[in-house]
Structure 1
């Protein structure tokens, strides 16, 4: 009879995967290194994740859930789009500063061929509300008529630069955070 699976071991494997992938890179990370870092046998890892692909997709979803929980917590649903986007921005860059290994791993996973279309769809679901807000703001000409994925890509790239500056100069982190959002807003909004 198979042993019952432990949530602690599941979490330990995902945490170890973050550490090892951040150190080595996704393509240079064997499952044996992850299981060793998690303090479990490699066979145990495969009890929780049938393949490396399954582990990588679970890691992607775990980090995306954490990001969504952080970014959408307290989302100001009845505020103007500027305040809504600033909320998402502030929470994302603060998460990025606080979670450098997860941010680094997510950058690799975002472009990875390992990530399935199903995982990408599940991971984007928590952000559907802000996507709809952006579309409505484009229709009402508050935001420029750019494709929403392009707006997200601009936001992500600018956030990466902002996070880098915040980490390099913690004394000026709040200034960088505000300036980064202003650059984003002035680039996507009419009459900014």
Structure 2
């Protein structure tokens, strides 16, 4: 990625996190990035493409920060592994979390594009959910519904922990958040 492209993405993230998607006009983004408007549009043909690329960039960085779970672990422990690492990353990157929360339900992010970005950047998630459903450990619901529920619940917990950092550092709160998440997707409370 070029330096100019990275500068534009970082400026977009900052402005979107501080002022929301609507407050981040392309002229303000270009100025904050220290580039001309033409340079911004050279790298990103529209604000929509810029915002989508930022979402994909955040998901790629999150995915790169997560190590593979040991396949010998139970399904629940593998899910806990990914949950915990993802939660730590989101707590450490509050601007990225704020952007994802604002953009998650934006008309700029279609469901098919969101699913595609998720599948491309967090490959473990659809694979692990499919494995859990095939084994009967997870509720047999359509994959799209399962992904929506997982993402929504994860983002709600991450948002709480970013808003109230002492809770995010509390092991009981972290365990409670994971327990609620697991009970939502699992067919039973047994370790699988």
TM-score by length of 1: 0.83
1:97 to 87, 91, 97: 91
CA contact (8 A) 2:75 2:132 kept: yes
Q: Tell me the distance in 1 between the aligned counterparts of 2:173 and 2:122.
A: 24
Aligned to 1:180: 177
Gaps of 5+ in 1: 1-5
Q: How many residues align?
A: 186
- Provide the aligned C-alpha RMSD in A: 2.3
Deviations for 1:92-146, whole angstroms, at most 9, x for unmatched residues?
2112211111111112222222236457514422334432332232232212223
- Shift, 1:29, TM fit: 1.8
Aligned to 1:3: none
1:80 to 74, 80, 100: 74
Change (3 A) 1:118 1:165: closer
Aligned to 2:43: 48
Q: Tell me the distance in 1 between the aligned counterparts of 2:177 and 2:54.
A: 28
Change (3 A) 1:119 1:160: closer
Change (3 A) 1:144 1:161: same
Aligned to 1:154: 149
Q: Tell me the distance in 2 between the aligned counterparts of 1:119 and 1:85.
A: 21
Structure 1 residue runs of 4+, over 6 Å off? Answer: none
- Shift, 1:89, TM fit: 0.8
Aligned to 2:125: 130
Equivalent residues in 2 for 1:61-72, closer than 5 Å = 61-71=56-66
Q: Tell me the distance in 1 between the aligned counterparts of 2:170 and 2:44.
A: 39
Q: Which has the larger radius of gyration?
A: 1
